[in-house]
Structures are given as C-alpha cells and as structure tokens.
Structure 1
Amino acid sequence: MTAEACKILLVLGHAASGKSAWAEARVVDADAPTYLATSRVLDDEMRRKVEAHAARRGPGWTLVEEPVNLAAACDGLTGTVLVDCVTMWLTNLLMDDADWRAPLDAWISAMHASSARFVLVSNDVGGGVTPDNGMARRFQHMQGLTNQRLAAEADRVVLVTAGLPQVLK
C-alpha cells in the first residue's frame, strides 16, 4: 500500500503503536517527500521525540513546521506530504482556546485543492477509560469527531496496532 494510490491516507493508532513509522514507510520512496510537523517543542522529552523522528526519516525530506494553520501550510505543496500529527495540531488549537471545526474544514478543503497527496497520522484516543476531567473529555470528543471527519474524506484509513496495519477503509 503506497501513498501514491491515495489522495488522502489516514493512519490511526494509539500512543507508541508504530503509526508514525508505518506512515513514514509509505512515503519514504516518494520523490522529495514533505514532512509537515504540527508539534510545538516545549520540553526536552518532545525535543528528543522530534529528533528521533527526524533521524528515522533520514535525509531527502523537506520539513515544514506549522502548529496551527494547516490550510495555509498546504498552499504550494506538491508530491507526497506526511502530516504528523493531527493530534498535536488539535492539542495546539485546544491550548490556544481556538475553534477547531472551521480550521478542520479549511484544511480539508486545502488538501482537496492541492496537487499533493497526504498521509495523515492521528491518535485514536477513545479506546481507554473516560477521562476524569472536563478538558480531557472535551479533547477526547474533539479528537474522535476530527478522526471521523478525516476518515470520511480519506481514500484509505489504516489502524496500526503493535506496528501491524489493519485496513479499515
């Protein structure tokens, strides 16, 4: 399964499920792939995680960093774009106390208008217990609705568990 076969490929999984590595493997052979990073590096743990992802990707990738405005980031992109990850993007919107529905709609429109193909990495956060606080419950709900919307737009949806892909769509 390659990214070239899809306009939008959504890769879901829990934390440390292997979803990012699996998604990167779908893109690694693309001509001049782009890595669209959504994380904000706020501590040493996140810095180490970002460095590990960069080392695993290796050279040949174009890096675009955009924590919030993914619609604008899509402007001018070509080839295959790996967006890692939707969950960090949504977290950034939540922490900025920003609306998430309008930016999601704009991003989806921008992906469809772009000549690029997109591989989206997102966490499936709904598989555990109900969170014990309002912010976490709100985030879990937002993430679930975002994943549903992206899955509806995607040509293919894959759930990665323990590094193993399960095709959902």
Structure 2
Amino acid sequence: MAITLITGGARSGKSLYAEKLALGGASGSPVYIATAQPPEAWGDSEMSARIASHQARRDTRWRNYEEPLDLTGILQKTDGEGARLVDCLTLWLANLMEAERDWRQEGRNLADCLKNQTSAVVLVTNEVGLGIVPDNALARRFCDSAGALNQMIASAADEVYLMVSGLPLKVK
C-alpha cells in the first residue's frame, strides 16, 4: 500500500501519470474520485471540456465517484476496493474555501485518513506557487492555502512526484 502525491503545473501530465500508477496498483478495479463540481455547475465550456477529456480517457475498468467536499468520507468508503485516484486536491481546496469550510482542519483530517488506508491512494494536486505572486488578496490567499495543503499531504505521503513536461521526477 502506498500513498502517492503527484504535483506539477497545469498540463504537465499529472493526471495521466496518476492514472497509470492507479491502474498498476493493488488488486481490484481502480477507483477515480473526482473533486470537480459537475460540468453543469461550472457554466464554463472550457472546464466542461477538460472534465469530458478526463472522462473519455478512462475505460470501463474504472469506478467513478464525484465528491467535491467529503474527501475523507469517500476514501474511507472505498478503502479495500482497489487503488484510488483523487483528482484533484486543488479543486477540492477551492470547493472547501467556497463553502467556507475550515480547509486546514479538512487537510489534517485527510492526512490522518491517508495514514490509515489499506489500499493505495494516488492524489493529484497543482503546484501553484512557482510563478509570480498574484496581484490580489483572494488569489494570494488561495496560493498560500494550496501550498500549505500540499505540504500537509506531502508529509503524509510515501512518495511524491513533480511532473515536468510529462516526466515524473521523484522528490520523496
């Protein structure tokens, strides 16, 4: 059993690599846990297209769950069913912040939950702090929060990969 965190920039190959790891994981069918809100909630054709692209890439071996907020609950529910892929922590954080939930406590709960899983978990997140400091308070707060959440989960993970141009670099 392994907890693996995959981070990197947008379109760096994180999700594709995570899918490969989950498919090669423990016995059972792989489980895909999407944290994005359903496409109709976005009202954004570009985001809807991204979601559709991810869905089209997965075949019938995958069992899919959509869980924008209760990530700990869905991990506990699906433990033992096969390797789980969580895509992604960054959207989960945005959902928590929008719902005005305590993301720090939720992050600690997730880190604790991960330590008790019996099946592999692969988590995808975005490395949002590699660019310039955002020019507004909300974006800075999100960037800072994402960095703190990523550190929490990286600490709980057995392995951490940074994706660069489709190539995984093992950092832990």
Q: Does 1:118 align with 2:121?
A: yes
**Offset from partner CA, 1:79-111 (integer Å, 9 cap, x none):** 200000000000111112221011111122222
* Count of residue pairs brought into register by the alignment: 164
- In 2, Cα distance between the equivalents of 1:9 and 1:164? 16
Q: Does 1:70 align with 2:71?
A: yes
Where 1:110 maps in the other structure, the secondary structure is: helix
- In 1, Cα distance between the equivalents of 2:119 and 2:151? 22
- In 1, Cα distance between the equivalents of 2:24 and 2:137? 43
Q: Does 1:28 align with 2:31?
A: no
- In 1, Cα distance between the equivalents of 2:114 and 2:152? 13
Where 2:77 maps in the other structure, the secondary structure is: coil
Tell me the residue number matched to 1:81: 84
Tell me the residue number matched to 2:138: 135
Where 1:97 maps in the other structure, the secondary structure is: coil
**1:16 corresponds to which of 3, 11, 14:** 11
TM superposition score normalised by structure 1: 0.92
Specify the code of the residue in structure 1 equivalent to 2:54: H
> How much identity, in percent, do the aligned residues show?
40
- In 2, Cα distance between the equivalents of 1:167 and 1:7? 14
Which runs of structure 2 are paired with 1:97-112 in the superposition (5 Å)?
97-112=100-115
- In 2, Cα distance between the equivalents of 1:44 and 1:60? 27
TM superposition score normalised by structure 2: 0.90
Gaps of 5+ in 1: 1-5
